[in-house]
């Protein structure tokens, strides 16, 4: 089993061998138990791999998100998003709100859930994303990066709108949205209301194209309330 890399099965079988003879299952039950153990082991390994590759800012789960009327987030909304059907439907999730209100927490919670359910995910803060794009253009890995993003079911861009977007970034964002349109999903967080994104993007022609693809199929979450960081310091 170990030579075949059936680690979950091997661990389960070792556990069964350590049981008293009268407690060991019959042959058919043992095979079923070993197969189930291997399946669970592979899901666990896949989840850990996806979480490691995603490089999420926070390791948090939807169950840890606080829902309340003050935050303008209901338990039903969170449960709906946590089912991750928006990825299957190639829809985007746009999360807005003031600084510290939990936008990144919510985005990472959904990203972690996606990894758990078997969807590869990539997380970038927008500032870091712009830096990575600039570096990729210089070292020749730009197309490779775009292909990687295009093949990833969920892309998270955190803190959209914190710094101006140059022309190259606008073109790249449009290309990414074009590649993903009706195929895969994005989660975008921003302090700016969605209605102000057009002005932030700048170029009217590109802004039209970007916003059209970004909002064609979306779920909008407008978080409210005081900064969670301030609450933790009380």
Indicate yes or no: pTM above 0.75. Answer: yes
Decide: residue 41, CB within 10 A, 0-12 exposed, 13-18 middle, 19+ buried: middle
Residue ranges per structural domain of the chain = 7-53, 55-233
- Coil, helix or strand for 203? coil
162 and 127 Cβ atoms separated by less than 8 Å: yes
What is the spatial distance between Cα 89 and Cα 71, in angstroms, rounded to a whole number?
Answer: 26
Strand order in the sheet with 218-222: 121-125, 154-160, 185-190, 92-96, 218-222
Half-sphere exposure of 212 (CA within 13 A, CB side): 9
What is the spatial distance between Cα 97 and Cα 102, in angstroms, rounded to a whole number?
Answer: 8
- Enter the CATH code of domain 55-233: 3.40.50.300
227 and 100 Cβ atoms separated by less than 8 Å: yes
Going residue by residue through the chain, which has 234 residues, state the pLDDT in tens, using 9 for 90 and above. 889 889 888 988 888 888 888 788 888 888 898 898 888 888 888 889 999 999 999 999 999 999 999 899 999 999 999 999 999 999 999 999 998 889 999 999 999 999 999 999 999 999 999 999 999 999 999 999 999 999 999 999 999 998 888 999 999 999 999 999 999 999 999 999 999 999 999 889 999 999 999 998 999 999 997 766 555 543
222 and 69 Cβ atoms separated by less than 8 Å: no
For 84, residues 6+ apart whose C-beta sits below 8 A from its C-beta are 110, 113, 114, 117, 119
């Amino acid at each position: 089993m170990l030579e075949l890399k059936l680690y979950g099965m091997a661990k389960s079988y070792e556990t069964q061998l350590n049981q008293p003879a009268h407690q060991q299952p019959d042959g058919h039950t043992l095979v079923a138990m070993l197969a189930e153990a291997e399946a669970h082991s592979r899901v666990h390994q896949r989840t850990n791999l996806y979480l490691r590759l995603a490089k999420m800012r926070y390791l948090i789960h939807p169950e840890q998100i606080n829902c309340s009327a003050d935050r303008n987030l209901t338990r039903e909304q969170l449960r709906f998003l946590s089912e991750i059907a928006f990825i299957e439907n190639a829809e985007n999730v746009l999360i807005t709100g003031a600084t510290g209100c939990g936008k990144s927490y919510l985005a990472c919670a959904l990203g972690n859930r996606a990894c758990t359910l078997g969807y590869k995910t990539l997380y970038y803060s927008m500032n870091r994303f712009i830096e990575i794009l600039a570096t990729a253009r210089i070292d020749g890995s730009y197309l490779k990066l775009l292909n990687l993003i295009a093949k990833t079911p969920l892309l998270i861009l955190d803190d959209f709108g914190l710094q101006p977007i140059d022309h190259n970034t606008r073109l790249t964002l449009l290309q990414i949205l074009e590649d993903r349109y009706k195929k895969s999903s994005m989660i975008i967080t921003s302090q700016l209301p969605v209605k102000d994104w057009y002005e932030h993007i700048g170029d009217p022609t590109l802004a039209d194209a970007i916003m059209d693809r970004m909002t064609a199929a979306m779920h909008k979450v407008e978080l409210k309330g005081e900064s969670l960081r301030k609450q933790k310091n009380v």
